[in-house]
Amino acid sequence: MAGNCRDSCNDTQFEGVSETYKRILWIIVAINCLMFFVEVFAGFIADSTALKADALDFLGDTATYAITLLVIGKSLELRAKAALLKGLSLGAMALFVLGFTLYKVIVVGQPEPMTMGIIGLLAFTANMVSVLLLLKYREGDSNIKSVWLCSRNDAIGNIAVMIAGAGVFATGTVWPDIIVAFIIAGLFLHSSIKITLQALSELKKDH
C-alpha cells in the first residue's frame, strides 16, 4: 500500500521510488542521448545556433535524468543537493548559450533552414514522447520537478527551433535563429531558478 501511495496519494510528495518511473527515466535517458548526437551534428551541418543550443539542452537533460536515477531513494539532503547541482548547471548552460549567441551576432552566418525544420520536428517528436511518459509524474521533490521541467521546456524549445527555421527561410537572415537561441537560454535560466529555489527549500527543511 505504501509503495502505491508514493505514486498516487496527494498528501505524499513523490520521490521517484517506483519501478515504473525508473523504467520511464531509462527510456528518456536513451532518447535524449541519441538526440544530442543527432542535433549537435545537424547544428554544425546547418550552422544553426538554435540547433546547437538545443543539442546542449539534450546533453544536459541526459545528465539530469541520469543523476535523478542515481539519487532516487536516497536521503532528502542528497536528493536536494543533486537537484541544486542540476539547477546550477542549467544556469551555467544558459550563460554559455547567451555568450555563444552574442558571438554569433558578431560573426554572422546564415543557417540552413530546411535542416533546422526537419531536425526541430524530430526533436519535438522525441520530447513529446518524454512529456507524455512523464505527465503523471510532473509533481514531486526537486529532482522529480527538474525532470518534468526539462522535458516540458525541451518541447517548447523544439517548437521555437522550427519557427526559427521558417523565419530564416522567410527573411533570408540569421536573426530568427539568434532570437530563438536567446529564448532557449531563457528557458534554461527559468528552470535553473525554479529547481534551485526548491532544492534550497528542501535543504532548509532537512536541517
In this structure, whether the domain defined by 17-206 belongs to CATH 1.20.1510 is answered with yes
Between CA 149 and CA 105 the distance in angstroms is 29
| Res. 30: pLDDT tops 90 | yes
| Res. 36: pLDDT tops 50 | yes
Measured distance between the N- and C-terminal CA atoms of the chain, rounded to whole angstroms: 29
CA-nearest of 129, 113, 96 to 177 is 113
45-59 residue pLDDT tens: 888 877 887 788 788
- Is 28 within 8 Å of 151 (Cβ atoms)? yes
138-162 residue pLDDT tens: 777 777 877 887 788 778 877 887 8
Residue 205: CB atoms within 10 A of its CB come to: 10
Residue 50: CA atoms inside 13 Å, Cβ hemisphere, count?
Answer: 34
Contacts of 23 (CB under 8 A, 6+ apart): none
SS3 22: helix
- The per-residue pLDDT for 3 is 43
Q: Which range (1-5, 85-89, 112-116, 201-205) has the least confidence? A: 1-5
Give the residue extent of every domain in the chain. Answer: 17-206
Between CA 189 and CA 98 the distance in angstroms is 10
- Is 128 within 8 Å of 152 (Cβ atoms)? no
- Is 18 within 8 Å of 116 (Cβ atoms)? no
73-129 residue pLDDT tens: 888 888 888 888 888 887 887 888 788 777 766 665 667 788 878 888 898 898 899
Of residues 68 and 15, more confidence is placed in 68
Claim: this prediction has a pTM higher than 0.95: no
Between CA 122 and CA 162 the distance in angstroms is 10
The percent of residues above 70 in pLDDT, for the chain, comes to 89
